[in-house]
Amino acid sequence: MSDTSSGWQPANHYPDPAITALDPRFEKYWIKLGAVERIATGMRWAEGPVYFGDGRYLLCSDIPNNRIIRWDEETGAVSDFRRPSNYANGNTRDRQGRIITCEHGRRLIRTEYDGSITVLMDKFEGKRLNSPNDVVVKSDNSIWFTDPSFGILSDYEGDRAPSEIGMNVYRIDGETLQPSIVADDILAPNGLCFSPDESILYIVESRGVPTRKILAYDVAADGRTLRNKRIAIDAGPGTPDGMRCDIDGNLWCGWGMGTPELDGVMIFAPDGAPIGRIALPERCANLAFGGRKRNRLFMAASQSIYAVYVNTQGALGG
C-alpha cells in the first residue's frame, strides 16, 4: 500500500506490507491473504465509525462537514445519513441497538427506532457540556462518555465558545438516566473502551505531559465508579485517539501525528506491549469492528475510511 501523487493505491501482493507484526503474539490475528482496502473517501475529518449488522452498513461522522455518512456494505454506496449532524463525533449502539452519538454541538443524544432524537445530556449541574467526544455502553446499559473541549476551540469542528465546565468523563445510569462524573483528573479525555469483561476502562489522555497516554482504571464492584488510575501505555511521539478492544483484550488504537511512521493503527496486548501496526496514508482518528462476523476492522482516517479483515472479533459494547 502506498500514498502516491495519483492517490492511495491498494497492495498488489500478499501479505500487505502495510501490516507489520511487532511481536510474535500478533501473528495469530494477521490474515496474510488479506489487505487494507479504502472503502470511502471525500471527508474532511472522519470520526466515530459504528457498524450495523442488521442493515449491513457503517455510519461515520464527518465533523467539519457537519454530517454523518452511511456506507453500504452490499453496494459500496456512500450517502448522507444525517445532515446537519450538530457536528457529530463519536457513535456507538446501546444494548437495544439504538445509536448513541456525541455531538460537538454540546450534547449526547440517542436516535430512537423511529428516527426521533432524545437528548440524554447537554448540561451537568446547570453548566453546558464542552463537546462530547467518544462513547461506549456497558452491559448494564449505562453510557460512558468523554467531554474534552476540542469542538469549542474554533468554528471548524463546532461553534467556538468558552468552556463552562471541566473536561470530565461521565456515566449515565442505564435505568434512571442520571449522570455522574467518574473521572475529573484527565488532561483532555478522548477515546475510551472497556476490556472484554468490563473490569477495566481505558481512556486516552490527549494532553498528557510530557507525552500522551492511554490510562487504565479498574471498575469497582458497584460497576459505577473507577479506581486505581494508572498508565497503561505511554504513546511517546504518537497520538492515540479512538480505540476498541478485541475479545482477547488487545487494544486496537487509532494513531498518528501526520507522519508516515506514525499514521495508522497500533495494536497493544493486554500487558501494554505493542504487538502490531497497520500503516495508513492518513492519521487514523477512530475505528470499529464490524462485518457479519465482527472480524472486519473499519478505520476512520482523516479524509477516508479503510477496512481490513482480522483473525479476531471486536468485544461487545464498542
Radius of gyration in angstroms for the set of CA atoms belonging to the chain, rounded to a whole number:
18
At residue 260, the pLDDT reads 82
Per-chain mean pLDDT for the chain: 96
Separation in Å, CA 99 to CA 51, 60, 109, 136, 210: 10, 12, 8, 11, 36
Q: Is the dihedral of CA 186, 215, 141, 110 positive or negative?
A: positive
**Residue 46 in this model has a pLDDT that exceeds 80:** yes
Question: What per-residue confidence (pLDDT) applies to 261?
Answer: 85
- pLDDT, tens digit (0-9, with 9 covering 90-100), for 300-318: 999 999 999 999 999 988 6
Query: Which pLDDT does position 3 carry in this prediction?
Result: 42
Cα separation values, 102 from 72, 90, 99, 146, 316, Å:
22, 5, 10, 9, 19
- What pLDDT was estimated at residue 1? 44
Predicted pLDDT at 7:
67
- Report the relative pairing of strands 117-121 and 107-111 from DSSP bridges: antiparallel
Predicted confidence (pLDDT) at residue 4 exceeds the cutoff of 80: no
Mean pLDDT to the nearest integer, 158-185 = 98
Place of cell 467539519: 64
| CA dist 66 → 45, 47, 80, 159, 162 (Å) | 10, 11, 10, 11, 20
Domains in the chain (CATH in brackets) are: 16-309 (2.120.10.30)
What is the full DSSP assignment across 233-263? EE-TT-----EEEBTTS-EEEEE-SSSTTT-
258-294 pLDDT tens trace: 688 899 999 999 999 999 999 999 999 999 999 999 9
Is residue 308 within 8 A of residue 290, CB to CB? The reply is no
